[in-house]
Amino acid sequence: TQAPVLAIDGPGGAGKGTISRLVAERLGWHLLDSGALYRLTALAAGKHGVSLEDEARLAEVARGLDVVFVAEADSTRVLLEGDDATTTIRTEQVGDAASRVAALPAVREALLSRQRDFRKPPGLVADGRDMGTVVFIDAPLKIFLTASAEERAHRRQRQLREAGVDASLSSLLKEIQARDARDMQRSVAPLKPADDAITLDTTRLTIPEVVDRLTELLTQRG
Ligand code: C5P
């Protein structure tokens, strides 16, 4: 039998990244940040002069991604072709390009087996948009993590402020809504809760509250 998977899907900015990392740490499970693979595909395409419109070549880039994830104390370092890409892949520009390449079926197909390779004992926490609906259909626990767009814009603003960047709430809200729309309306693997997913609205919850809730649910299922 295969190692268990906790699938965590939801819109950008709902806290999936932080929550997934903390839950994986608490359980001693592996972690898949699937969004990073789309971001890395977009970044690698830029590096090699591949157009974001060229689906066939983008799929080749995705299949050939030379990436290493290095787990550190409370983050993961990402190496693309040996170069540190940890902060570069987090920029708005790369995020935007990632959501464009993620709409291409050949790219999604190319990344499937790479994502499934992360599933190893004792278990995997998989963070993304289609973990429960496509990549790990048989995951024993699927969570759809949401928060209102306004709350997500606030969280993003706080994050940026900590990094010394000023951004207006209204422009952040607009970006979030545009990204949501693109993720939900695409024809392949659109963002939506799996039929058997549990939806958790984190708008009024703290990070430790969400982590507790998820480990609790996992114990009930296990
Ligand atoms: O989660 P993150 O913001 O890093 O993801 C970047 C982009 O990659 C998302 O906006 C989404 O379009 C895409 N993505 C996806 N499927 C996933 C993870 C991310 O389409 N499983």
Tell me the pLDDT tens digit for each residue of 114-166: 999 999 999 999 999 999 999 999 999 999 999 999 999 999 899 889 889 89
Residue 15, marked binder? yes
Residue 13, marked binder? yes
pLDDT for 222: 64
Q: Report domain extents, the chain.
A: 1-29+123-222, 37-121
Which CATH architecture is the domain 37-121 placed in?
3-Layer(aba) Sandwich (3.40)
Q: What is the pLDDT of residues 48-70, one digit of tens each?
A: 999 999 999 999 999 999 999 99
Among protein residues, the one with the nearest Cα to ligand 1's atom 7 is 99
- How many whole angstroms from 135 Cα to the centroid of ligand 1? 13
Residue 191 DSSP SS3: coil
Q: Provide the ipTM.
A: 0.98
pTM, two decimal places: 0.94
In ligand 1, the atom with minimum distance to the C-alpha of 127 is 21
Q: Which two tokens stand for residue 137?
A: 């259909």
Class of domain 1-29+123-222: alpha beta
Residue 11, marked binder? yes
In ligand 1, the atom with minimum distance to the C-alpha of 99 is 12
CA distance 39 to 208: 27
Q: What is the pLDDT of residues 66-117, one digit of tens each?
A: 999 998 888 899 999 999 999 999 988 999 899 899 999 999 999 999 999 9
Among protein residues, the one with the nearest Cα to ligand 1's atom 11 is 99
Q: Which amino acid is at 99?
A: S
**Fold matches, 1-29+123-222 and 37-121:** yes
Question: Are the CB atoms for 30 and 69 separated by under 8 Å?
Answer: no
